[in-house]
A and B are shown apart, each in its own frame.
Chain A
Amino acid sequence: EIVMTQSPATLSVSPGERATLSCRASESVRSDLAWYQQKPGQAPRLLIYDASTRATGVPARFSGSGSGTEFTLSISRLQSEDFAVYYCQQYNNWPPVTFGGGTNVEIK
């Protein structure tokens, strides 16, 4: 099973600043990585797939990078609606489909 580890668990950022979230895979997943955003009481929403491709309708301030075992989600100029929990998920080697533990981006 591929273990996905996200850091930090909580990130405190001021509106307008940049947020950088990390995701590490226990073995290479090539570029088969997605990022999801989840707000309280809502289902996860796809932001990024194939490590760096924005999903339809996702603002350009969201960007993904990395391959192999190290990945980054960057959010430039955080807006109020961006404060949420973010999960990475690998789909290179499954089952099982595995998710990271999440990063909570909170208002500083």
Chain B
Amino acid sequence: QVQLVESGGGVVQAGGSLRLSCAASTFAFSSYAMYWVRQVSGKGLEWVAFIDQDGSSEYYADSVKGRFTTSRDNSRKTLYLQLNSLRLEDTAVYYCAKDLTVAVAGAVWGQGSLVTVSS
């Protein structure tokens, strides 16, 4: 069964940085584009970032552009999200996911990692 496991969340002060990881198992990670989506507690889903299979193409939501960077290490089957210049409004559960826009039949999400930005 396809599995995505996020880690790296925690509490960080406003203006600080954090790096999230998403470890993939049981599928050919290097063959899939990957996504980050976040969710503020009690609110809806907000797409954050996209990275293609070899990491040569990235897209970001306007709300995080210039502050967040996604990358991947296909040899380690791991996806990363570097969060810099964090703001209070970045507090959310961050999910990694596959197949959100192509081959959507295979869409799978990780369990999420909570990032709390404090003042």
Residues of A within 8 A of B (CB): 34, 36, 42-46, 49-50, 53, 55-56, 87, 89, 91, 94-102
Contacts and interface: CB of A to CB of B under 8 A. Distances in A.
A97 B101 contact: yes
B105 A55 contact: yes
Given A53-B105, A56-B105, A97-B35, A87 B45 contact: yes
Contacts of A55: 105, 107
Contacts of A94: 47, 59, 101
B100 A95 contact: no
Interface residues of B, number: 23
Contact of B101 (A53, A56, A91, A101): A91
Interface in B86-119: 95, 100-102, 104-105, 107-112
Nearest to B45: A99
B73 interface: no
Given A95-B50, A97-B35, A46 B45 contact: no
23 contacts: A43-B109, A43-B110, A43-B111, A44-B95, A45-B109, A46-B104, A50-B105, A55-B105, A55-B107, A56-B105, A87-B45, A89-B45, A91-B101, A95-B47, A95-B60, A95-B61, A96-B59, A96-B62, A97-B35, A97-B100, A99-B45, A99-B47, A102-B45
